[in-house]
Structure 1
Amino acid sequence: MNKPIVLLVLITSAQAGDDVIFINGFELPSCVQGAMLFQEDFTAPDATDWNGFNQWQESGSEVALAEITNNQARLIPESSVYSLARMIHPVETLDAEATYSIYFENANTQGVGFYLRANGGYLQQTNPTGQGYGVFVERFAAQGAGIGLWYENDGVEISFIRFYDAAFEILDETEYRVRYQVFQESPTTTRLRARFWQAGTTEPNEWQVTYLDDFVPLQNTSGGILVDGWSTQQSGEIIPAIRVDDIEIKQLCNPLLGISSLQTLESGFEFAEGPVWREDHYLFSDITANTIYRWDDMQGLQVHTANSGNSNGLNLTLDGSLLAAENTLRRVSIDDGNGATTLLDTYQGDRFNSPNDLVMSDLGILYFTDPDYGLNGRPRELPFNGLFRYHPNTGLIAEYMGDQFNNKPNGVRLSPDQQTLYWNDSQAGRLNQMTVNPDGSLSNLTQIAESLIIPDGMCIDQSGNIYVATWNSAFEVFSPDGYHWGSIPTFETSTTNCTFGGAGLNTLFITTRTAIHRIFMNQ
């Protein structure tokens, strides 16, 4: 195993401002979703003192044993009315995810706690007194194996919520994994959530405990991490230890914190849609006006293509040619600067319905949706509303064939790592995802959000967050695992699509039915 490393250590606590965070006058780097802040695998000779190892320190004076043996940290408290041993590390955490392994040597009498945003205090024994957000795993309670969320305020630990599963047995000398997240959901509230499972089994999809807290002293306040070892034994020498290993702390980034207000750039369109960023400008369709427009800060709005075939979604090939999903000719066209020509217009001899949105992977594989919105009374030839995949070497393949009355695939985008394809079903009100296999084929269709109000187009930021345009006057914003970060109001019912552009791809460019807008993101 590699030696433990610390990738980010900050010494003072920080307050999150509207736009950036400063510590001792220096601006912190932009938030990078999933960035590794800290790793610890406790690689050390047996009987190494945990206290003082790699900046770990004992908090309080109730530790009977803190040592590293078999590349795991062991912790035993002194017996008392509370019997709690605590070890702290100064790596700063504000919005973070902790994953780690725990072992019980006698789970009937033990519990393991882990804190983020911790100030380093120990209960009411130290100055400052203890403060932070914690998760606690235990078996000794009569209800069975349990996990709970806590906070410590002025040295007093207070439970938010607990979950017990009588059917789940915590075994001695067995590895269990814990995933624990703490992040600002708004400037005044923090979301906590956690789950645990036996190592070697499948991690649960659902969070076993989740809580939204508004305790003022812990909002926007960073702090260190700490490990608690607790025992029910209140007198005599405590023999069994709790053990921890393989700690990882990763950064979480709420994309909606610190964003600018909505700025309307142009209005008066008939049906704006399908924006794409190309080099230094945006292109977007006005479907009903049969026009593709160009917009940039220097020259403003210009006509890029008249007689656009009532294009809808736009995107780019690997060489920068413009792809368009066209309603009039029911085709996907390609324009290398010399005018649009047909790339695809039939599937197995039948004409498409009306290609709607499209995206091309780094392998040159084109994915596009084909609902029937643009038929406008013309007879359909395909008996389904589809999601297609195309590459010159493999041809055209229907990856999804939806019922023509109940499914209308619409907006489609790839995750930043290109391993997941997301698409909206406007009729069903769902955001779906599919696994992208190495050959570009799709599998494992799953739903990650439902009950959306006519989800239309979408875009994805560099951290993988998904921005779904809805006909509910808003974007609904989801993390890659489907967590709903919140909404961005657009003040027009038909919110149609979006893309990221500008310097650092840090501007959210928005189309609503009659206008184009932008928001500057704080990433």
Structure 2
Amino acid sequence: MSLPENTLLPSGPLSRRSALGLGAAALGGALFAGKARAAGQDEAIAPPSVISTPPRIWGPDAPVSFTPDPDIIFYDPSFSAVILDNAPLVQAWKGRTLWFEGPAWSSDGRFLIVSDVMGSTQYRYLPEERSMTVFRKESYHSNGNTFDHDGRLITCEHGMRRVIRWEHDGRCTVLAESFEGKRLNSPNDIVVDAQGGIWFTDPPYGDRLWEGHPDAPVNGDPGKGNLTWNLDLEATEQIGGLHHQETHVFHLDPQTLKLTSVLTGADLAGPNGLCFSPDEKTLYIVSSEKGAASPKGGGYRNIYAFDVRNGALTNQRVFADMSLGGHKLMPDGIKADRLGNLWVAANGPLGLCGVFVYNPAGKMIGRLRLPRSVSNLTFGGTQRDRLFMCAENTIFTLDVATQGAGLS
């Protein structure tokens, strides 16, 4: 029997008894589904959900796809304008990777690029074959990716603390690696505007050994991770000896490669995902900081909107506060569709995590309920009407009745 929509499963560690209970429920559901199939009674199975008992079965072993999908939840009639009634949420791929991020669609190659940040590998996903292949190893803990107007891949690297571009002849061009004499922190997410300008966030989230470039010790203080810095000089120059600087959101001129700070940590704490509105008059930026506000008020896991004028950002305001069912979720990657709706990767408790969808006025019109937190997402496919969602070691997809705005 399905639980009420906002019912939550335990968010903390499960006891042995709870774990056994959940396992028994899942086993019972699998046996019931098997008996129903054997008896030719698939139509009698109630539509499952990630918070129902037994839980929904994802992946190729799922007995049937229910449409309309019970995990596509409507809060406003306008959501129906972007949702196809006969298109279910699909677990397109799952494997032995660690943490997918930075999905970017190549219109020329017709494939999806994703970064396994902790695995320090870029992968190429082919939707038609549902196959995943290694695209680049070592990727220096790459995170955000995008393609420019010439189809060249632009990547944010945590490990090297830089933004790079891969040319068509295989050369690597370093676009940005320092600002005012100091190396960047850990470039996170990135977008390209209609003029070819590059915008990216540079929070300190990648200054950890397992997903980037940890800071060198200061006055004997090992810093984050309690690392022991006993490397030789050559190794230290490659993966050590750097210190983070102030948080920024940057604009990079594609011709001169001049790097300009458009926001600092004093304006917005923990900048993460970012994207433009379809007309590029508004830039949306996520704050992923929990309970940490900047002196000017930007933070607390909100999504902020800014007016864009002549390469500068003005009129900072809260677009959405990412609250649902009394819970404050953490936003991460964001993308806009052609109608101006904002699709937001939501991290939070089971039953609430997945993707939130807001209209241009900042009202939540619907959401996609998934069995795990989503880190980032993008639109792709030959008509840019397929939503790709990265969730840990899994790619989920949904065919929609709209198209993505921008390049990726």
Q: TM-score, normalised by structure 1?
A: 0.50
Deviation at 1:463, TM superposition (A): 1.1
Displacement, 1:259? Answer: 6.7
- Is the 8 Å Cα contact of residues 113 and 123 (structure 2) preserved in structure 1? yes
Q: Deviations over 1:239-262 (max 9, x none)?
A: xxxxxxxxxxxx996434637222
**Secondary structure of 1:470's aligned partner:** strand
Structure 1 pair 259/397, CA: closer, same or farther in 2 (3 Å)? farther
SS in 2 for 1:508: strand
2:307 to 435, 452, 476: 435
Identity of aligned residues (%): 29
Matched, 1:274 2:83: no
Asked if the contact 2:379–2:385 (Cα under 8 Å) also holds between the matched residues in 1, the reply is yes
- The aligned counterpart of 1:400 is 263
Of 419, 439, 444, the residue aligned with 2:315 is 444
Instruction: Output one character per residue of 1:454-487: Cα deviation in whole Å (capped at 9) or x when no partner.
Output: 2111111111111111212211111112111122
Aligned to 1:384, the other structure's residue is in SS state: coil
Match of 2:132 in 1: 301
Matched, 1:352 2:184: yes
How well do the aligned residues superpose, as a CA RMSD in angstroms?
2.4
From the superposition, tell whether residues 315 and 498 of structure 1 become closer, same or farther in structure 2 (CA, over 3 Å): same
- 2:271 aligned partner: 409
Letter in 1 for 2:201: T
- Residue number in structure 1 paired with 2:236: none
- After superposition, residues 71-470 of structure 1 pair within 5 angstroms as 254-256=81-83, 258=85, 260-268=87-95, 269-279=97-107, 280-299=110-129, 300-337=131-168, 338-376=170-208, 377-379=214-216, 381-391=243-253, 392-393=255-256, 395-403=258-266, 407-427=269-289, 428-437=300-309, 439-451=310-322, 452-470=328-346
The one-letter amino acid paired with 2:265 is G
**Structure 1 residues not aligned, in runs of 5+:** 1-185, 192-250
Alpha-carbon distance in 1 for matches of 2:178, 2:215: 15
Question: Residue 188 and residue 445 in structure 1: after superposition, are their counterparts in 2 closer, same or farther (change >3 A)?
Answer: closer
- Do 1:187 and 1:257's aligned partners in 2 also have CA atoms closer than 8 Å? no
* Pairwise CA distance, 1:341: 3.2
| Stretches of structure 2 lacking an aligned partner (at least 5 in a row) | 1-71, 209-213, 217-241, 290-299, 323-327, 403-408
Question: Structure 1 residues 521, 343: closer, same or farther in 2, change over 3 A?
Answer: same
CA separation in 1, counterparts of 2:74 and 2:364? 17
Task: Determine the structure 1 residue equivalent to 2:359.
Answer: 479
> What SS does the aligned partner of 2:383 have?
helix
Aligned partner of 1:372: which letter? P
Q: For 1:479 and 1:256, how far apart are their aligned partners in 2?
A: 14
- Give 1 or 2 for the bigger CA radius of gyration: 1
Higher share in strand: 1
Asked which structure has the greater RCO (Cα within 8 Å, sep 6+), the reply is 2
Written as runs of structure 1 = structure 2, the 5 A alignment for 1:14-93 is none
Aligned residues: 276
Equivalent of 1:512, from 373, 377, 391? 391
- Asked whether the 8 Å contact 2:356–2:367 carries over to 1, the reply is yes
- Per the alignment, in what secondary structure is the counterpart of residue 371 of structure 2? coil
User: Is residue 256–residue 486 contact of structure 1 (8 Å, CA) maintained in 2?
Assistant: no
Q: What TM-score comes out, normalization by structure 2 length? A: 0.63
Indicate whether 1:496 and 2:327 are aligned.
Answer: no
